[in-house]
A and B are shown apart, each in its own frame.
Chain A
Amino acid sequence: DSGVTQTPKHLITATGQRVTLRCSPRSGDLSVYWYQQSLDQGLQFLIQYYNGEERAKGNILERFSAQQFPDLHSELNLSSLELGDSALYFCASSVSRGGYQETQYFGPGTRLLVL
């Protein structure tokens, strides 16, 4: 158990809908990261938040947004969902700003299926 929790574990929804994925980092960790794992793209970095502020951005679609709250949990919002958004979404956390010699610990993931 990494100490990172994610809810829900599974999510089934329809095209055009909006969903929210939730992540709680390990106790004491200040950074939260979101990754998407699809069959053809592997694990892709979406976005990082550090202590409530956006720190780094990857290949995140404009339909997707995230935030980190004062208690450090994070939410990833996916809207106008398309079939191609079906994937595993992982959250990870690390102790500080991220980068050199800073390990990220991953949650169990949320499996999203868009029908």
Chain B
Amino acid sequence: DQQVKQNSPSLSVQEGRISILNCDYTNSMFDYFLWYKKYPAEGPTFLISISSIKDKNEDGRFTVFLNKSAKHLSLHIVPSQPGDSAVYFCAASAGVGGTSYGKLTFGQGTILTVHP
């Protein structure tokens, strides 16, 4: 049972344009969501997070939107740069009231390619 899904395996974007990566979840106990970027042969690098009490969080070129009623979150990268080309994972945790406090549940990842 995949509780966090990234339905687009890949996304190709032109440099300077917006990249939108999507993520859906099914577990209503999730209350904290994170995006990680991963280059080959490296560990995931934390990008940005959002708690369930918010619907938007911004950090520079990166903005995450959370729609709790739809159980959907998205990561917007504006403007996209060639160095953003990587695999992007969304992840979720159920901290409050859960028994797996620290467990992150990951989506399968989306490969973003930004063309110059």
Interface residues of A (CB under 8 A from B): 2, 4, 6, 31, 33, 35, 42-45, 48, 50, 55-58, 90, 92, 94, 97-109, 111
Contact = CB atoms under 8 A, between A and B. Distances in A.
A56 B93 contact: no
Instruction: Tell which of B100, B101, B105, B106 has the most Cβ of chain A within 10 Å.
Output: B101
B28 to A, nearest CB: 15
B42 A109 contact: yes
Interface of B: 31-32, 34, 36, 41-46, 49, 51, 89, 91, 93-96, 98-109
Contacts of B31: 100
B108 A42 contact: yes
Contacts, number: 93
Given A42-B108, A42-B109, A56 B102 contact: yes
B51 to A, nearest CB: 5
B100 to A, nearest CB: 5
Nearest to A49: B102
Given A42-B109, A43-B89, A99 B102 contact: yes
User: Which label, helix, strand, loop or mixed, suits the secondary structure of the B interface?
Assistant: loop
User: Which label, helix, strand, loop or mixed, suits the secondary structure of the A interface?
Assistant: strand
Nearest to B100: A56
9 contacts: A35-B104, A48-B101, A48-B102, A55-B101, A90-B44, A99-B96, A103-B46, A106-B44, A109-B43
Given A48-B102, A100-B32, A106-B43, 17 more contacts: A2-B43, A2-B46, A6-B43, A42-B107, A42-B108, A43-B44, A45-B103, A48-B103, A55-B101, A56-B100, A92-B43, A99-B101, A100-B51, A100-B93, A101-B51, A105-B46, A108-B43
